Amino acid sequence: MPEPDSILEELGLTPVWRTRTASTIGAAESAAAEACPSVDVKAPKKEFEVISEPISEVSETPISLLDWDTLKARVANCTRCRLCEKRNHTVFGIGDEKASWMLVGEAPGANEDRLGEPFVGQAGKLLDNMLGAVGRTRENGIYIANVIKCRPPGNRDPQLDEVAQCEPYLKRQLAIIRPQLILALGRFAAQSLLKTDASISSLRTRVHQYEGVPVIVTYHPAYLLRNLPDKAKAWADLCRAQEIYQAMNH
């Protein structure tokens, strides 16, 4: 399997997208700040509204009231839609549970279903290198989750009823973590969060809001592996996210 640096070299992203160690995180953030244009955005961190959702059993505690551990257990045993029938593992999420950034993807793929963790394989390695370029890791200030917690058969798009049953889990994760910035990875995640059918190309170029929190839309890492010319656009999106976050905290 190629090393991550060789992947980035092939994408033409070196030396900018280079994985950083924990000891160089501070330096990476400073370097990223110099590389990206200044953005004057001030969006204070706000409380999330409690959102109601359908529940399968009247006797169950609503998802919008669950604490973190109970939410995780509810997801692990979920049978709210047909996707539970063929899954190997649910994919709850991974990262810093006090994260300032939350990354939201679409749904688990085959590797994620097998391992129970989001963004593994080559797409996951590319994502880790992208985050490392702005001084962030899965363990430090980042939490990663999907809209859908079980793999759709054949990696098809999730259906509307599946989204209706599963999306409340993500809403509760966002409400508990209360990130200062959300990065939507790919068309489906962006459209689900923002409740729009707009194209990703039009959504990318603007700063959106979810419950008062800035949302930056960018391409899914798996898409970038198949469409190398768009890697520069993804880097611009990541710079924009970094600059917005820094503007809110200075």
Question: Residues 191-203: pLDDT tens digits?
Answer: 999 999 999 999 9
How many Å apart are CA 147 and CA 46, to the nearest integer?
A: 21
The predicted structure's pLDDT at residue 188 = 94
Question: String of b and e for 160-183 (b: at least 16 CB within 10 Å)?
Answer: eebbebbbbbbbbbbbebbbbbbb
Round the average pLDDT of the chain to a whole number and report it: 84
Give me the mean pLDDT over the 171-181 stretch.
Answer: 97
The predicted structure's pLDDT at residue 157 = 87
pLDDT in tens, 99-153: 999 999 999 999 999 999 999 989 999 999 999 998 899 888 999 999 999 999 9
Which two three-digit tokens encode residue 73?
């257990």
How many Å apart are CA 221 and CA 14, to the nearest integer?
A: 16
Amino acid identity at 85 = E
Residue 172 scores a pLDDT above 50: yes
The predicted structure's pLDDT at residue 250 = 84
The predicted structure's pLDDT at residue 20 = 46
Confidence of residue 161 (pLDDT cuts 50, 70, 90): very high
State how beta strands 181-185 and 213-218 pair: parallel
Residue 31 scores a pLDDT above 90: no
The predicted structure's pLDDT at residue 6 = 53
CATH number of residue 87's parent domain: 3.40.470.10
The predicted structure's pLDDT at residue 46 = 46
6, 208 Cβ separation under 8 angstroms = no
Q: Sign of dihedral through CA atoms 29, 4, 216, 108? A: negative
Question: String of b and e for 69-101 (b: at least 16 CB within 10 Å)?
Answer: eebeebbeebebbebeeebebbbbbbbbeebbb
Residue 1 scores a pLDDT above 60: no
Confidence of residue 48 (pLDDT cuts 50, 70, 90): very low
CA 247 from chain centre, in angstroms, equals 21
Query: Minimum mean pLDDT among 50-64, 203-217, 218-232: which range?
Result: 50-64
97, 72 Cβ separation under 8 angstroms = no
pTM of the model: 0.77
Residue 5 scores a pLDDT above 50: yes
Q: What is the number of domains present in the chain? A: 1
How many Å apart are CA 5 and CA 232, to the nearest integer?
A: 17
Domain with 113 in it:
4-248
